Amino acid sequence: MTDQTTDFNYFKILEKDNKELIHSAFISYLLDRNQNFRNLFVENNKWLSPKLEQSYSHNKKRCRIDIELKSTDEKTILFIENKFKSFPEEEQLNKYDEIFKQKFNEDIKLVKFLFCFDKKLVCFDNHWEVFDYGDLLNFLKKDIDTDYASDEKTFIRHYILFLEKYLEEYKNLENTCSRLFKKGLTKEDKFWSRLLNSKIALEFKNKIEGDFKYVINPGSTSTPLLNIIPKIWKEIVGEDVLIQFQGNSLKFYLHSANKNSAEKLIKFSKSQIQSTKQITKINFKKITKRKENSCYILETKITDNLNDDFTLNDIYKFLVTFYENIDNKIIKNYTTFTKYNS
C-alpha cells in the first residue's frame, strides 16, 4: 500500500497530468481568476472569460489556438499556444501569424505567447513571447497566499506538487535516461521519451549544418519516434531516406515501395559500412516478397553502443556519429555507385 499522504494528487489520480488540454484549462483558470497572473501577459483591462481551442482559417490554412483571452472592447486579444508535451515549431507559429494577419485588422492589438515545457527547446526568433512551466511554477509558489478560497488553494497546491515532480524528473532524466530504452514503456515514460526526442532534435538543429526536416511522433499508441530528414539525401538517392530514432532502435530508413531501390541501397550500404567500435552490431534489412511501403536499410541498438547508465548527451553524440557514418560512407558515394550499376 502506498503512502496516501504523499502520493495523493488530483491530477495523478485522474491520469490527466500529461494532457495538454488539462494544463491549458488550468492556465485559463488563472487568467480568469488571478489579475497578477494576467498582468504577466497583458496590461490591466477589462476582460471576457478565456476560451479554449479556438479555431481560425484563411485560404485553406487552419489553426486552433489553445487559449484565447479578449478584452471586453475586443481591441486586445491574448493568444497562448501551449506545448506541454510537444516540440515548438517555428513553421506552425508562422502559419498562425499569417492567418491572424488576414483575420484581424491593425486596430486590434494581438499579444502572442508560446507556453512550453522548457523554453530552451525554442531556438528560433519569432514574434511570440516564450513562457515555460518553470516560470509558471515560480509564479504559483510566490502567489499561493493570494486571496484564494480554501478549496482553490488546495487545488493549486496539488498542481504545484505535481509540476515540481515533473520538472525534477525532467532534470534527472538528462543525466540518466537508460530506463526509457527498455521494453514496456508506461504512458509517463512515453511522455518523457517525447520530450527527450524534442531536445535531441533541437541539439541536432543547433549544431549540425544543413537543411533538415524533423518529425516527432507523439507516440500515443507506440514508442515515440524522431525522424531526421536531410533534404539533400533525396536529391542524391532519388528516394525519401532518413534517420529514424525510436526507442532503443536507430535506423537508416527508406520510405519507398520500390523493392529495386531498397535492394540496391542495402547492397551498397553493406559494401560501405560494417560494425566498428563507433557503431556495433549493425543489422541489415533482408528483402522479402512481402509488399512494403517502407523499410529500414540498416539498424543498430542504442544499448549495444552505450554504457549502462548513459545520459541524454551520450545519446545525442551517438546519433551524430550514426548520421555522419551514413552521410559520409553511403550517401556521398551513392551517385558514383548508381552510375556504374544502373
Q: Which domains does the chain have, with CATH numbers?
A: 4-169 (3.40.1350), 179-340 (no CATH)
Q: Per-residue pLDDT for 123 more than 80?
A: no
Mean pLDDT for the chain? 86
pLDDT confidence band for 198 (50 / 70 / 90)? confident
pTM for the whole thing? 0.77
pLDDT confidence band for 221 (50 / 70 / 90)? low
Q: What length is written for the chain?
A: 342
Which of 145-154, 182-191, 327-336 is predicted most confidently? 327-336
Cell numbers at residue 303, please? 544499448
* Amino acid type, 136: L
pLDDT tens for each residue of 40-96: 999 877 999 999 999 998 888 899 999 999 999 999 999 999 988 776 778 889 999
Please give the C-alpha separations between residue 267 and each of 18, 149, 256, in angstroms, as whole numbers: 44, 70, 16
Q: How far apart are CA 244 and CA 240, in angstroms?
A: 12
